[in-house]
Structure 1
Protein backbone atom coordinates (compact mmCIF):
# COMPACT_ATOMS: atom_id res chain seq x y z
CA UNK A 1 0.00 0.00 0.00
CA UNK A 2 1.41 3.35 -1.06
CA UNK A 3 2.08 5.75 1.81
CA UNK A 4 0.62 9.23 1.79
CA UNK A 5 3.14 11.93 0.95
CA UNK A 6 3.48 14.02 4.16
CA UNK A 7 4.12 17.12 2.04
CA UNK A 8 0.70 16.90 0.36
CA UNK A 9 -2.38 18.29 2.12
CA UNK A 10 -4.96 15.51 2.38
CA UNK A 11 -8.50 16.12 1.17
CA UNK A 12 -9.77 15.04 4.57
CA UNK A 13 -7.69 17.78 6.20
CA UNK A 14 -9.13 20.37 3.80
CA UNK A 15 -12.68 19.21 4.50
CA UNK A 16 -12.18 19.37 8.27
CA UNK A 17 -10.72 22.89 8.13
CA UNK A 18 -13.45 24.14 5.78
CA UNK A 19 -16.15 22.59 7.98
CA UNK A 20 -14.76 24.34 11.06
CA UNK A 21 -14.46 27.64 9.22
CA UNK A 22 -18.14 27.35 8.24
CA UNK A 23 -19.01 26.65 11.88
CA UNK A 24 -16.99 29.68 12.99
CA UNK A 25 -18.63 31.85 10.35
CA UNK A 26 -22.16 30.95 11.43
CA UNK A 27 -21.42 31.46 15.14
CA UNK A 28 -19.82 34.86 14.47
CA UNK A 29 -22.85 35.79 12.35
CA UNK A 30 -25.15 34.92 15.26
CA UNK A 31 -23.05 37.16 17.53
CA UNK A 32 -23.37 40.00 15.00
CA UNK A 33 -27.15 39.54 14.76
CA UNK A 34 -27.46 39.79 18.54
CA UNK A 35 -25.34 42.95 18.57
CA UNK A 36 -27.32 44.43 15.67
CA UNK A 37 -30.68 43.74 17.33
CA UNK A 38 -29.61 45.38 20.59
CA UNK A 39 -28.23 48.42 18.77
CA UNK A 40 -31.45 48.80 16.78
CA UNK A 41 -33.46 48.65 20.00
CA UNK A 42 -31.30 51.26 21.70
CA UNK A 43 -31.09 53.63 18.73
CA UNK A 44 -34.59 53.42 17.25
CA UNK A 45 -37.03 52.55 20.02
CA UNK A 46 -38.20 55.50 22.08
CA UNK A 47 -39.46 53.28 24.89
CA UNK A 48 -37.90 49.83 25.13
CA UNK A 49 -40.13 46.89 26.01
CA UNK A 50 -39.07 43.29 25.54
CA UNK A 51 -42.42 42.41 23.92
CA UNK A 52 -42.06 44.96 21.11
CA UNK A 53 -38.46 45.09 20.05
CA UNK A 54 -36.07 44.01 17.32
CA UNK A 55 -34.53 41.60 19.82
CA UNK A 56 -37.89 39.93 20.43
CA UNK A 57 -38.49 39.74 16.68
CA UNK A 58 -35.19 37.92 16.09
CA UNK A 59 -35.92 35.61 19.03
CA UNK A 60 -39.24 34.57 17.52
CA UNK A 61 -37.59 34.08 14.12
CA UNK A 62 -34.96 31.75 15.59
CA UNK A 63 -37.61 29.73 17.49
CA UNK A 64 -39.80 29.35 14.40
CA UNK A 65 -36.73 28.30 12.38
CA UNK A 66 -35.90 25.67 15.01
CA UNK A 67 -39.44 24.24 15.00
CA UNK A 68 -39.59 24.28 11.19
CA UNK A 69 -36.21 22.54 10.91
CA UNK A 70 -37.21 19.64 13.16
CA UNK A 71 -40.67 19.43 11.54
CA UNK A 72 -39.10 19.09 8.08
CA UNK A 73 -36.89 16.26 9.34
CA UNK A 74 -39.79 14.32 10.87
CA UNK A 75 -41.10 12.71 7.63
CA UNK A 76 -37.56 11.66 6.64
CA UNK A 77 -36.72 10.01 9.98
CA UNK A 78 -39.90 8.22 11.00
CA UNK A 79 -37.76 5.84 13.02
CA UNK A 80 -37.31 8.65 15.58
CA UNK A 81 -40.67 10.37 15.08
CA UNK A 82 -41.63 10.15 18.77
CA UNK A 83 -38.39 11.82 19.90
CA UNK A 84 -38.64 14.53 17.24
CA UNK A 85 -42.26 15.21 18.17
CA UNK A 86 -41.21 15.65 21.79
CA UNK A 87 -38.49 18.13 20.76
CA UNK A 88 -40.88 20.02 18.49
CA UNK A 89 -43.43 20.20 21.31
CA UNK A 90 -40.76 21.55 23.65
CA UNK A 91 -39.94 24.43 21.32
CA UNK A 92 -43.60 25.14 20.58
CA UNK A 93 -44.10 25.62 24.32
CA UNK A 94 -41.16 28.05 24.34
CA UNK A 95 -42.75 29.92 21.42
CA UNK A 96 -46.06 30.13 23.28
CA UNK A 97 -44.24 31.48 26.34
CA UNK A 98 -42.52 34.14 24.25
CA UNK A 99 -45.93 35.15 22.88
CA UNK A 100 -47.44 35.44 26.37
CA UNK A 101 -48.43 39.08 25.81
CA UNK A 102 -50.59 37.96 22.88
CA UNK A 103 -52.29 35.25 24.96
CA UNK A 104 -52.74 37.74 27.81
CA UNK A 105 -55.39 39.39 25.61
CA UNK A 106 -57.64 36.51 26.72
CA UNK A 107 -56.61 36.84 30.37
CA UNK A 108 -53.33 37.21 32.26
CA UNK A 109 -51.42 33.95 32.27
CA UNK A 110 -53.60 32.30 29.62
CA UNK A 111 -50.45 31.15 27.76
CA UNK A 112 -50.18 28.36 30.35
CA UNK A 113 -53.30 26.69 28.96
CA UNK A 114 -52.07 26.02 25.38
CA UNK A 115 -48.55 25.41 26.72
CA UNK A 116 -49.89 22.77 29.10
CA UNK A 117 -51.92 21.11 26.34
CA UNK A 118 -48.92 20.95 24.00
CA UNK A 119 -46.64 19.66 26.80
CA UNK A 120 -48.96 16.85 27.87
CA UNK A 121 -49.77 15.89 24.27
CA UNK A 122 -46.08 15.72 23.25
CA UNK A 123 -45.08 13.72 26.33
CA UNK A 124 -48.00 11.30 25.94
CA UNK A 125 -47.25 10.71 22.25
CA UNK A 126 -43.50 10.34 22.78
CA UNK A 127 -43.72 7.96 25.74
CA UNK A 128 -46.99 6.09 25.31
CA UNK A 129 -44.63 3.21 24.59
CA UNK A 130 -41.89 4.04 27.08
CA UNK A 131 -39.20 1.80 25.59
CA UNK A 132 -39.75 3.11 22.06
CA UNK A 133 -39.71 6.74 23.21
CA UNK A 134 -36.56 6.36 25.31
CA UNK A 135 -34.69 4.44 22.60
CA UNK A 136 -35.60 7.00 19.93
CA UNK A 137 -34.60 9.88 22.19
CA UNK A 138 -31.23 8.19 22.78
CA UNK A 139 -30.67 8.02 19.00
CA UNK A 140 -31.23 11.78 18.67
CA UNK A 141 -29.15 12.58 21.76
CA UNK A 142 -26.30 10.60 20.25
CA UNK A 143 -25.91 13.22 17.51
CA UNK A 144 -22.84 15.30 18.36
CA UNK A 145 -24.60 18.65 17.85
CA UNK A 146 -27.02 17.77 20.65
CA UNK A 147 -24.28 18.81 23.08
CA UNK A 148 -24.43 22.28 21.56
CA UNK A 149 -28.22 22.23 21.80
CA UNK A 150 -28.17 21.26 25.47
CA UNK A 151 -25.60 23.95 26.33
CA UNK A 152 -27.64 26.56 24.44
CA UNK A 153 -30.84 25.58 26.25
CA UNK A 154 -29.00 25.88 29.58
CA UNK A 155 -27.75 29.30 28.49
CA UNK A 156 -31.39 30.23 27.88
CA UNK A 157 -32.97 28.84 31.03
CA UNK A 158 -30.17 29.09 33.59
CA UNK A 159 -27.53 31.68 32.74
CA UNK A 160 -29.83 34.30 31.21
CA UNK A 161 -32.17 34.09 34.21
CA UNK A 162 -29.33 34.48 36.71
CA UNK A 163 -27.68 37.22 34.65
CA UNK A 164 -30.99 39.09 34.34
CA UNK A 165 -31.92 39.04 38.02
CA UNK A 166 -33.08 42.44 39.24
CA UNK A 167 -31.14 42.04 42.50
CA UNK A 168 -27.88 41.59 40.60
CA UNK A 169 -28.39 44.70 38.44
CA UNK A 170 -29.40 46.80 41.46
CA UNK A 171 -26.17 45.74 43.14
CA UNK A 172 -24.23 46.74 40.00
CA UNK A 173 -25.94 50.07 39.28
CA UNK A 174 -27.10 51.07 42.79
CA UNK A 175 -29.07 54.35 42.60
CA UNK A 176 -28.44 54.49 38.83
CA UNK A 177 -30.52 51.35 38.30
CA UNK A 178 -32.71 51.54 35.19
CA UNK A 179 -35.07 48.67 34.39
CA UNK A 180 -34.44 48.88 30.64
CA UNK A 181 -30.72 48.16 31.09
CA UNK A 182 -31.48 44.97 32.96
CA UNK A 183 -34.03 43.88 30.34
CA UNK A 184 -31.71 44.59 27.40
CA UNK A 185 -28.92 42.55 29.00
CA UNK A 186 -31.23 39.61 29.70
CA UNK A 187 -32.99 39.69 26.33
CA UNK A 188 -29.66 39.94 24.51
CA UNK A 189 -28.43 36.82 26.28
CA UNK A 190 -31.66 35.03 25.42
CA UNK A 191 -31.29 36.02 21.76
CA UNK A 192 -27.78 34.58 21.72
CA UNK A 193 -29.14 31.33 23.17
CA UNK A 194 -31.95 31.17 20.60
CA UNK A 195 -29.48 31.77 17.77
CA UNK A 196 -27.23 28.94 18.95
CA UNK A 197 -30.27 26.68 19.45
CA UNK A 198 -31.38 27.34 15.87
CA UNK A 199 -27.91 26.52 14.52
CA UNK A 200 -27.72 23.37 16.65
CA UNK A 201 -31.14 22.32 15.29
CA UNK A 202 -29.81 22.74 11.75
CA UNK A 203 -26.72 20.63 12.50
CA UNK A 204 -28.74 17.92 14.27
CA UNK A 205 -31.25 17.61 11.45
CA UNK A 206 -28.50 17.68 8.83
CA UNK A 207 -26.92 14.70 10.55
CA UNK A 208 -30.24 12.86 10.91
CA UNK A 209 -31.07 13.35 7.22
CA UNK A 210 -27.60 12.15 6.22
CA UNK A 211 -28.11 8.93 8.18
CA UNK A 212 -31.61 8.06 7.02
CA UNK A 213 -32.82 4.57 7.94
CA UNK A 214 -35.15 3.09 5.30
Structure 2
Protein backbone atom coordinates (compact mmCIF):
# COMPACT_ATOMS: atom_id res chain seq x y z
CA UNK A 1 0.00 0.00 0.00
CA UNK A 2 2.84 2.35 0.92
CA UNK A 3 4.60 1.55 -2.33
CA UNK A 4 1.42 2.33 -4.28
CA UNK A 5 1.03 5.68 -2.47
CA UNK A 6 4.69 6.56 -3.10
CA UNK A 7 4.30 5.64 -6.75
CA UNK A 8 1.17 7.81 -6.99
CA UNK A 9 2.95 10.75 -5.35
CA UNK A 10 5.91 10.39 -7.71
CA UNK A 11 3.59 10.32 -10.71
CA UNK A 12 1.69 13.37 -9.41
CA UNK A 13 4.91 15.31 -8.85
CA UNK A 14 6.14 14.24 -12.28
CA UNK A 15 2.88 15.40 -13.88
CA UNK A 16 3.07 18.76 -12.07
CA UNK A 17 6.66 19.17 -13.23
CA UNK A 18 5.64 18.47 -16.81
CA UNK A 19 2.66 20.84 -16.69
CA UNK A 20 4.53 23.72 -15.02
CA UNK A 21 6.42 24.90 -18.17
CA UNK A 22 3.05 25.61 -19.81
CA UNK A 23 2.39 28.40 -17.32
CA UNK A 24 4.84 30.96 -18.78
CA UNK A 25 3.60 30.08 -22.24
CA UNK A 26 -0.01 30.76 -21.26
CA UNK A 27 0.95 34.04 -19.60
CA UNK A 28 3.01 35.22 -22.57
CA UNK A 29 0.18 34.28 -24.93
CA UNK A 30 -2.26 36.30 -22.82
CA UNK A 31 0.09 39.29 -22.93
CA UNK A 32 0.39 38.94 -26.70
CA UNK A 33 -3.35 38.93 -27.28
CA UNK A 34 -3.82 41.80 -24.83
CA UNK A 35 -1.28 43.92 -26.68
CA UNK A 36 -2.68 42.84 -30.04
CA UNK A 37 -6.18 43.93 -29.02
CA UNK A 38 -4.89 47.28 -27.79
CA UNK A 39 -2.98 47.93 -31.02
CA UNK A 40 -5.98 46.83 -33.09
CA UNK A 41 -8.20 49.24 -31.17
CA UNK A 42 -5.73 52.10 -31.71
CA UNK A 43 -5.53 51.35 -35.44
CA UNK A 44 -9.32 51.17 -35.70
CA UNK A 45 -9.63 54.60 -34.08
CA UNK A 46 -7.31 56.03 -36.73
CA UNK A 47 -9.37 54.32 -39.43
CA UNK A 48 -12.60 55.67 -37.93
CA UNK A 49 -11.19 59.18 -37.66
CA UNK A 50 -10.16 59.29 -41.31
CA UNK A 51 -13.02 57.43 -42.95
CA UNK A 52 -16.01 58.38 -40.80
CA UNK A 53 -15.33 61.55 -38.80
CA UNK A 54 -12.91 64.23 -40.02
CA UNK A 55 -11.16 62.72 -43.02
CA UNK A 56 -7.87 63.84 -41.46
CA UNK A 57 -6.12 64.10 -38.10
CA UNK A 58 -5.96 67.54 -36.51
CA UNK A 59 -5.33 69.05 -33.08
CA UNK A 60 -8.81 68.22 -31.77
CA UNK A 61 -9.11 64.82 -33.40
CA UNK A 62 -10.21 61.59 -31.75
CA UNK A 63 -6.69 60.26 -32.24
CA UNK A 64 -5.21 63.17 -30.27
CA UNK A 65 -7.75 62.61 -27.50
CA UNK A 66 -6.87 58.92 -27.38
CA UNK A 67 -3.16 59.76 -27.13
CA UNK A 68 -3.88 62.04 -24.19
CA UNK A 69 -6.10 59.38 -22.64
CA UNK A 70 -3.36 56.78 -22.88
CA UNK A 71 -0.92 59.22 -21.29
CA UNK A 72 -3.33 60.00 -18.48
CA UNK A 73 -3.85 56.30 -17.76
CA UNK A 74 -0.09 55.66 -17.79
CA UNK A 75 0.68 58.54 -15.44
CA UNK A 76 -2.28 57.59 -13.26
CA UNK A 77 -1.11 53.99 -12.91
CA UNK A 78 2.31 55.02 -11.62
CA UNK A 79 0.69 57.65 -9.39
CA UNK A 80 -1.53 54.92 -7.90
CA UNK A 81 1.57 52.81 -7.22
CA UNK A 82 3.22 55.80 -5.53
CA UNK A 83 0.17 56.23 -3.30
CA UNK A 84 -0.35 52.57 -2.38
CA UNK A 85 3.22 51.22 -2.29
CA UNK A 86 5.24 53.40 0.08
CA UNK A 87 8.43 51.42 -0.59
CA UNK A 88 8.19 52.37 -4.29
CA UNK A 89 6.94 55.92 -3.78
CA UNK A 90 9.96 57.95 -4.90
CA UNK A 91 10.47 55.95 -8.10
CA UNK A 92 6.78 55.73 -8.99
CA UNK A 93 6.20 59.44 -8.33
CA UNK A 94 9.14 60.32 -10.58
CA UNK A 95 7.88 58.15 -13.44
CA UNK A 96 4.33 59.42 -13.00
CA UNK A 97 5.55 63.01 -13.14
CA UNK A 98 7.51 62.25 -16.31
CA UNK A 99 4.37 61.12 -18.12
CA UNK A 100 2.27 63.94 -16.68
CA UNK A 101 4.83 66.36 -18.11
CA UNK A 102 4.47 64.75 -21.53
CA UNK A 103 0.70 65.11 -21.15
CA UNK A 104 1.09 68.78 -20.29
CA UNK A 105 3.19 69.19 -23.44
CA UNK A 106 0.50 67.46 -25.50
CA UNK A 107 -2.04 69.93 -24.09
CA UNK A 108 0.07 72.95 -25.07
CA UNK A 109 -2.73 74.39 -27.21
CA UNK A 110 -4.93 74.49 -24.12
CA UNK A 111 -2.25 76.25 -22.07
CA UNK A 112 -1.60 78.65 -24.97
CA UNK A 113 -4.99 80.18 -24.23
CA UNK A 114 -3.41 81.53 -21.04
CA UNK A 115 -0.13 82.53 -22.67
CA UNK A 116 1.90 81.16 -25.55
CA UNK A 117 4.30 78.55 -24.19
CA UNK A 118 2.66 78.60 -20.76
CA UNK A 119 2.81 74.79 -20.58
CA UNK A 120 6.51 75.06 -19.69
CA UNK A 121 5.75 76.55 -16.26
CA UNK A 122 3.61 73.73 -14.83
CA UNK A 123 5.93 71.22 -16.53
CA UNK A 124 9.04 72.69 -14.88
CA UNK A 125 7.26 72.98 -11.55
CA UNK A 126 6.19 69.32 -11.61
CA UNK A 127 9.65 68.19 -12.73
CA UNK A 128 11.30 70.14 -9.90
CA UNK A 129 8.95 68.70 -7.28
CA UNK A 130 9.34 65.12 -8.56
CA UNK A 131 13.14 65.26 -8.81
CA UNK A 132 13.38 66.93 -5.40
CA UNK A 133 11.17 64.29 -3.81
CA UNK A 134 13.05 61.40 -5.42
CA UNK A 135 16.37 62.90 -4.33
CA UNK A 136 15.22 63.31 -0.73
CA UNK A 137 13.73 59.80 -0.64
CA UNK A 138 16.52 57.80 -2.26
CA UNK A 139 15.57 54.65 -0.35
CA UNK A 140 12.29 54.48 -2.29
CA UNK A 141 13.78 55.72 -5.56
CA UNK A 142 17.09 54.08 -6.45
CA UNK A 143 16.47 50.43 -5.55
CA UNK A 144 12.95 50.34 -7.06
CA UNK A 145 14.33 51.93 -10.23
CA UNK A 146 17.05 49.28 -10.40
CA UNK A 147 14.46 46.55 -9.92
CA UNK A 148 12.21 48.08 -12.57
CA UNK A 149 15.02 47.95 -15.13
CA UNK A 150 15.10 44.16 -14.70
CA UNK A 151 11.31 43.84 -15.05
CA UNK A 152 10.03 42.24 -18.26
CA UNK A 153 7.91 45.28 -19.13
CA UNK A 154 10.91 47.62 -19.13
CA UNK A 155 12.02 46.67 -22.65
CA UNK A 156 8.55 47.39 -24.03
CA UNK A 157 8.50 50.72 -22.20
CA UNK A 158 11.86 51.64 -23.73
CA UNK A 159 10.60 50.66 -27.17
CA UNK A 160 7.53 52.88 -26.74
CA UNK A 161 9.52 55.89 -25.51
CA UNK A 162 12.13 55.50 -28.27
CA UNK A 163 9.37 55.24 -30.87
CA UNK A 164 7.71 58.38 -29.49
CA UNK A 165 10.73 60.64 -29.18
CA UNK A 166 12.93 59.39 -32.02
CA UNK A 167 11.25 57.33 -34.72
CA UNK A 168 7.94 59.23 -34.82
CA UNK A 169 9.73 62.59 -34.96
CA UNK A 170 12.03 61.61 -37.82
CA UNK A 171 9.30 59.68 -39.63
CA UNK A 172 6.95 62.65 -39.41
CA UNK A 173 9.35 65.27 -40.79
CA UNK A 174 7.83 67.34 -43.59
CA UNK A 175 10.91 66.94 -45.81
CA UNK A 176 10.36 63.20 -46.03
CA UNK A 177 6.72 63.45 -47.08
CA UNK A 178 7.34 66.35 -49.44
CA UNK A 179 10.02 64.23 -51.08
CA UNK A 180 7.63 61.31 -51.45
CA UNK A 181 4.62 63.24 -52.76
CA UNK A 182 6.50 65.97 -54.64
CA UNK A 183 4.01 68.47 -56.12
CA UNK A 184 1.13 66.41 -54.71
CA UNK A 185 2.22 67.02 -51.11
CA UNK A 186 -0.73 66.87 -48.73
CA UNK A 187 -0.04 67.89 -45.13
CA UNK A 188 -2.89 65.76 -43.78
CA UNK A 189 -1.09 62.64 -45.04
CA UNK A 190 2.04 63.67 -43.18
CA UNK A 191 -0.03 64.32 -40.05
CA UNK A 192 -1.67 60.92 -40.36
CA UNK A 193 1.71 59.19 -40.50
CA UNK A 194 3.17 61.13 -37.58
CA UNK A 195 0.13 60.94 -35.30
CA UNK A 196 -0.33 57.27 -36.13
CA UNK A 197 3.22 56.50 -35.03
CA UNK A 198 2.72 58.52 -31.86
CA UNK A 199 -0.46 56.61 -31.05
CA UNK A 200 1.45 53.35 -31.56
CA UNK A 201 4.11 54.58 -29.13
CA UNK A 202 1.55 55.61 -26.52
CA UNK A 203 -0.16 52.23 -26.88
CA UNK A 204 3.11 50.41 -26.13
CA UNK A 205 3.86 52.73 -23.22
CA UNK A 206 0.44 52.29 -21.64
CA UNK A 207 0.56 48.51 -22.02
CA UNK A 208 4.02 48.40 -20.43
CA UNK A 209 2.78 50.59 -17.57
CA UNK A 210 -0.15 48.28 -16.94
CA UNK A 211 2.13 45.24 -17.13
CA UNK A 212 4.23 46.62 -14.28
CA UNK A 213 1.75 48.63 -12.21
CA UNK A 214 -1.32 46.41 -12.03
CA UNK A 215 0.44 43.49 -10.28
CA UNK A 216 2.07 45.98 -7.89
CA UNK A 217 -1.31 47.49 -7.08
CA UNK A 218 -2.77 44.05 -6.36
CA UNK A 219 -0.07 43.35 -3.78
CA UNK A 220 -0.61 44.30 -0.16
CA UNK A 221 0.94 47.69 0.44
CA UNK A 222 3.31 48.36 3.29
Judge same fold: TM > 0.5, yes or no.
yes
The alignment of Structure 1 onto Structure 2 pairs a total of residues equal to 213
- Of residues 134, 154, 158, the one that matches 1:126 is 134
| 2:121 matched residue in structure 1 | 113
1:190 Cα deviation (Å)? 0.6
| 1:22 matched residue in structure 2 | 30
SS across alignment from 1:10: helix
Q: Deviations over 1:99-127 (max 9, x none)?
A: 11111111221111111111111111111
Determine the C-alpha separation between the residues in 2 that align with 1:10 and 1:213.
34
Give 1 or 2: higher helix fraction.
2
Q: Is the 8 A contact 2:159 2:204 kept in 1?
A: no
- Is residue 2:90 matched to residue 1:86? no
- Is residue 2:200 matched to residue 1:196? no
Q: Deviations over 1:154-204 (max 9, x none)?
A: 111111001101111111111111111111111011111111111100111
| 1:66 matched residue in structure 2 | 74
**Structure 1: runs of 5+ lacking an equivalent:** none
| 2:3 matched residue in structure 1 | none
**Structure 2: runs of 5+ lacking an equivalent:** 1-8
Moved more, 49-58 or 201-210: 201-210
- After superposition, residues 127-206 of structure 1 pair within 5 angstroms as 127-128=135-136, 133-206=141-214
Moved more, 128-137 or 69-78: 128-137
Q: Is the 8 A contact 2:50 2:57 kept in 1?
A: no
| 1:98 matched residue in structure 2 | 106
Q: Which has the higher Rg, Structure 1 or Structure 2?
A: 2
Q: Is the 8 A contact 1:143 1:207 kept in 2?
A: no
Moved more, 139-148 or 92-101: 139-148
Determine the C-alpha separation between the residues in 2 that align with 1:93 and 1:102.
14
1:86 Cα deviation (Å)? 0.4
SS across alignment from 1:15: helix
